[in-house]
Chain A
C-alpha cells in the first residue's frame, strides 16, 4: 500500500474547500440569521449562543465530513415541510396526507425503523454476495433512515410546542426519544467510518445493534404506548439537557460500534467471514478510534452532567446509580485506552474487552433504568 501512494502537493485546508462548502456555510448562517431576526427577542443569551454556536459547529462538521452538508439540507427541507403541513393544528398529524404517512414524528420514526431494518438485511446480503452495488444500496438506505429519524425528531420538537407552549422541549427527554437518538448517532458514526475506511463490510455488524434498538422502540411504542409526548419534569427543564444527553449518546453510540467491530474482529480471527471482512489491522484501528471518540465525548458528558447536578441538585456527584455506572463505564474504557496506549494492548483481549464493554454500557444505559432507582429515573420501563 505504501508504494501505491501518489504524490499530492500539500494544500492548505481553506483552499481545499469547494464552492459547495461555502454555499452550505452561507445557508447555515442565513438560516441562523433568519431565526435570530424572527425569534431573537424570545431567546436568552445562552440560546443565542447556541444558535450561532450551531452555525460554527455544523459548519465545521460539514467541511470536515462532506455528506453531512446534504444530510442537513435534507433534514432542514423535510422538517420545514412537515412543520408547514401542521398549520398550527396538532390534530392534522392524523389527517393531512403527508403528516399521517410520512412526516409526523411517529410516522417518520417508523420510516426510520423500517429503513434501518432493511439496511441491516441489505448490508448482510452485500457481505455474503460480495456485491458492491448491494452495499451501496445499503449505505443509501442507512442515510435515508438517518434522514427520516432526524426529521422525526425535529417535527416532534415542533409538535411538543403545539401541545402547549410550556410543554415544548427538545425530544431527548424520555427513553423512546433517546433510543431514536441512539440509533441515529450510532448509524452516523458508522457512516463516517464507512466513508473514511472505504469499507461497507461492517455495516451488517454495526446495524445489528441499531436494529436491536429499533426492536426496543417498536416494543416500547406498541406494548407500552410510550411514543406520546409528555411534559418535562422540572429537573429536566434546563439548557444543560440539550448538550448533556447528546454528548452521552455519542459515547454510547461509539462504544456500541466498537463492540460490534470487536465481534467482527473475533470472527475474522477465527477465519469466519475473514475473506469478506476488512483486515484485522483495519478492524483493530477502527475499534480504537471509535472507543477514543466515545471516551472523549463520554468524559465531556459526565463533566457536563456534574455541572448540571451542581446546579439542579446542589452537588457535583451524589453517587446516584446512573452516575456510579457512568463512572464504571468511564473507568472501563479508560483502562482499555490506557493499556492500549501505554502497554500496546492488541488482539483478542482488546476485542473481547470492547465486546464486554457493550454489556457494561448497555447496563448503564438501560439496566440502571430497569433495575435501579435514583435521581436519573426519567425513563423507567
Chain B
C-alpha cells in the first residue's frame, strides 16, 4: 500500500495506471483499478481527518460532501502533474491600489535632431537628383569637339549628351 501511495505522490493516477498495465493481467485490471482508487481515497480521507484533528478542528464525517471534497482534491493533485510544477499558486485575496505612472522626457537636443534630419533628407535628394556634369569644348578652326563627363554614368546622361549636341549644333549653324 505504501508502494501505491508512493506511486500516486510521484505521478498521480497516471502513474498508478502505468503500474497496473505493467503488473496486473488484462482481465483483473478494472477490478484492481477500482480497488486502488478506493485505497487512495480512504488514505486521503484518513489523512484529512488526522490533519484536522492535529489542527484542533472538527473531525470530518465520511458523508457525501466530504467524500466529494476528497475525490476532487485527489483529482486536482493528480492533474497537477500535467501542469509540470511541484506546487500551485492561487490568488486568495486582491486589493486594488489606485496609482498613476508619469513619464517625463526632456530632449534638449531637439533642434539638433530636427536640423540633422532635415540635412539627411536634403542630402539624400542631393545624392540622387543632383548630378555633377562637365562640358568640354575644344574649339579649332572650323571644328568644335564636344565632350561631356559625369561623376556617375546613367541613362539620363546619354540623353543629355545627345540633347546638348543637338543644341550645340543648332547654335553653331545659326
**A interface residue numbers (CB < 8 A to B):** 1-3, 5-7, 10, 281-282, 284-285, 288, 292-293, 295-296, 299-300, 303, 306-307, 310, 314-316, 337, 341, 344
Contacts A303-B117, A310-B107, A341-B152 given; indicate if A296 touches B166 (C-beta within 8 A): no
B43 at interface (Cβ–Cβ under 8 A)?
A: no
Question: What is the bound-complex CA distance between A282 and B107, given in angstroms?
Answer: 47
Which residue from chain B places its CB closest to the CB of A316 in the assembled complex?
Answer: B113
Considering the complex, give the chain A residue whose CB is closest to the CB of B113: A316
Q: How distant is the Cα of A315 from the Cα of B107 in the complex, in angstroms?
A: 9
Segment of B11-19, B53-61, B63-71, B119-127 engaged in the interface with chain A:
B119-127
Cβ A7 vs Cβ B121 within 8 A: no
Q: Which of B117, B120, B162 has the most CB of A within 10 A?
A: B117
A/B pair count, beta carbons within 8 Å: 53
Chain B at the A interface: SS class: helix
User: Does residue B27 face the partner (Cβ distance < 8 Å to A)?
Assistant: no
Chain A hits for B153, CB < 8 A: 344
Check if B154 is an interface residue, CB within 8 A of chain A. yes
Taking a contact as CB atoms under 8 Å apart, the answer to whether A7 and B170 are in contact is: yes
Known A2-B158, A281-B155, A285-B154; judge A303-B121 contact (CB<8 A). yes
Query: Which residue of B is nearest A292, CB measured?
Result: B128
Given contacts A281-B155, A282-B155, A314-B103, contact A299 B166 (CB under 8 A): no
Determine if B166 and A7 form an interchain contact, defined as CB atoms under 8 angstroms apart. Answer: yes
B35 at the A interface (CB under 8 A): no
Q: Which B positions have Cβ atoms within 8 angstroms of A?
A: 103, 105, 107, 113-114, 117, 120-121, 124-125, 127-128, 152-156, 158, 161-163, 165-167, 169-170
Give the interface centre of B124, B152, B153, B158 by most chain A CB atoms within 10 Å: B124
Residue of B nearest to A1 (CB): B162
**Interface residue from B103, B125, B156, B165 paired with A296 (Cβ < 8 Å):** B125
- Given A6-B166, A7-B166, A341-B152, decide whether A299 and B124 contact each other with a Cβ distance below 8 A: yes
Q: How far is the CB of B132 from chain A (nearest CB, A)?
A: 12
B117 to chain A, nearest CB (A): 5
Residues from chain B with a CB closer than 8 A to the CB of A295 are 124, 128
**Contact status B121-A299, CB under 8 Å:** yes
Q: Is A314's CB under 8 angstroms from B165's CB?
A: no
Partner of B120 from the list A3, A293, A303, A344 (CB cut-off 8 Å) is A303
A155 to B166, CA, bound (A): 51
Q: How far is the CA of A46 from the CA of B37 in the complex (A)?
A: 76
Query: Which residues of chain B have C-beta atoms less than 8 A from A315's C-beta?
Result: 105
Q: Which of A2, A284, A288 touches B165 (beta carbons < 8 Å)?
A: A2
Taking A2-B165, A306-B117, A315-B105 as given, write out 10 further A-B residue pairs in contact, using a Cβ cutoff of 8 Å, ordered by the A residue number.
Answer: A1-B158, A7-B166, A7-B169, A10-B167, A292-B128, A296-B121, A303-B120, A307-B117, A310-B107, A314-B105
CA distance A295 to B165 in the complex (A): 33
Tell me whether A7 and B167 are in contact (CB under 8 A).
Answer: yes
Q: How far is the CA of A282 from the CA of B155 in the complex (A)?
A: 8
Contact A5 B166 (CB under 8 A): yes
Q: Which residues of A contact B170 (CB under 8 A)?
A: 7
A303–B152 Cα distance when bound, in Å, is 28
Q: What are 12 A-to-B residue pairs whose CB atoms are below 8 Å?
A: A7-B169, A281-B155, A282-B155, A285-B154, A292-B128, A299-B124, A300-B121, A303-B117, A307-B114, A341-B127, A341-B152, A344-B153
